[in-house]
Each structure stands twice: as structure tokens, then as C-alpha cells.
Structure 1
Amino acid sequence: MDWLRISILCMSVILAQSAPQGAPGPEIKIISQTNEISPDGGYKWSYEADNGIKADETGTLKKTNDAENPEVIVAQGAFSYTDKEGNQISLTYTADDDNGFQPQGAHLPTPPPIPPNIQRALDWIASQPSTTERAGKR
């Protein structure tokens, strides 16, 4: 599955979850929309709805050293909407063959802080010479 399909799938899930459940509400109109496809395989799309939902994405073609996948799409984009509690949700993302889908947003969960004693141990380990450096000193 390419990144364009993954990003469209993610947007569909987000929009479906942000839509009110139950009786149908007022019609939501698209107030602006763009869709550009370049001959080289790149693309750019965006839209804005009258209920405040906004989304955009740009994809560019990237050459790789992988014989099975000599070209991949690298995408970056963003979307925002207001959740059921009235909070503004904004998310930016990149998607590529090296790091996969990388979302960023204030509403996303974050890992707990590293305990101080563990951080000291990690800092000490990082300060030690690598095994290559030690092997060269023998």
C-alpha cells in the first residue's frame, strides 16, 4: 500500500471519528478544494469545510537504491478539526520509506519521563568508548 492510500485511509478514519453520531446534522459544505497531480508522480491536495475541518498533503517522488522499489512517494501534510469537547485538534505528519508514518500533535500521547537513575545510567553508557574504539586501542 503506498503512502497516498495510507494517508487517505488515515484521514477517512479521523473524519469518521470526528463526525457526530446519531441523527444526521446539517450539511457540511466544502468551501475550498485543490487537487494537483504532477507528471513526475508528485501531487498536492487540500480542502477546507465550512465546519472548520482543514487538510492538506504534498507528495513527491523519491528515487531509492532498492531494486524492487526504485521510486517511492514521500508525503507531508496536516489536518485540523474541532473535537466533540470543543478542543482544536491539529496534526502534522510525514511519511516516507525510511521512517514510515510520523505524526506530530499536542493531543497525541507521549511516553512517561525517564526516571533520573535510568537517565544517569544511559548517559554513562553513552560516554563510554565504542567497542570499535576499544579494539583499536589494544
Structure 2
Amino acid sequence: MKFLIAFACLLALACANEDAGVLRNEAEVNVNDFKYALQLDNSVNIEQQGALSGEEWVVKGQHSWTSPEGEPVSIQYIANENGYQVLSANPPLPTPPPIPEAIQRALEYIRAHPSQDQQ
């Protein structure tokens, strides 16, 4: 399954960059871990590695490229039992909007009045 995901990502990238030449393409897929790296001559650089930790996968990676405006863009991330989390990004990711007041009041009410199952 993980090989198919990695292959699909690489295929999508290759289709989006038809004129890009491959400078580096490495992949190692094992039962409990995998890693791959792809570097194209149009500044795209992708590295990812994952390992099975107990029953959960932990995947770490980074993607970088140069935007059409000539700005360097990079993202480092981890994906685990807590979901996909950006560790660093250049340019920085935008700040999410604040939680609406009505939702904040509802969350406070739920915390103050736990259900019978949570007591």
C-alpha cells in the first residue's frame, strides 16, 4: 500500500513537471519501513521516510521547490497517530482564523457540563 501511495505521488509530480529531468530517484520499500527521495532539475526536491511504530505509521518528510516568482518554498512535516503536522514552512503558513465566539461558548459549556459517560 505504501509503495502505491509513494508511486502515485511521484507519478503526479512527474505529470505536473513533464519537462523536468530526474537528477536523483531513490526508493526503498520494506515491510516495516520505507524511504524515498526524488530530485528534479527544476528545483523540486522530495524526501520521505516512514516506519511502523507498534501498529501506527510514523512518516517524516520534506518537500522544497522554487515558486514561479523565484521564491524558495519548503515544508517539513510529520504524520503519525496525531495526523499530519507541519513542523516548519518557508514561507510560514498563515495563522488560522480565531474560533468563532458562539463555538467557543459551546466548547466551554461542554467542558463545564460533561456527559454522564465522561464523569
Given residue 63 of structure 2, which amino acid in structure 1 is its aligned partner?
Answer: F
TM-fit CA distance, 1:130: 3.3
- Partner of residue 80 from structure 1, selected from 53, 57, 64: 64
Q: Which has the higher strand share?
A: 2
Pair 1:118–1:13, CA change in 2 (3 A)? same
Of structures 1 and 2, the one with the larger relative CO (CA 8 A, separation 6+) is: 1
Given residue 128 of structure 1, which amino acid in structure 2 is its aligned partner?
Answer: H
Partner residue in 2 for 1:118: 103
Q: Which has the larger radius of gyration?
A: 1
TM-score (norm 1): 0.54
Confirm or deny: 8 A CA contact 1:83 1:89 kept in the other structure: yes
Matched, 1:61 2:61: no
TM-fit CA distance, 1:54: 0.8
How many aligned positions are there?
116
TM-fit CA distance, 1:79: 1.4
The RMSD of aligned alpha carbons is 3.7
User: 2 CA distance for matches of 1:57 and 1:125?
Assistant: 40
User: 2 CA distance for matches of 1:132 and 1:41?
Assistant: 37
Matched, 1:28 2:28: no
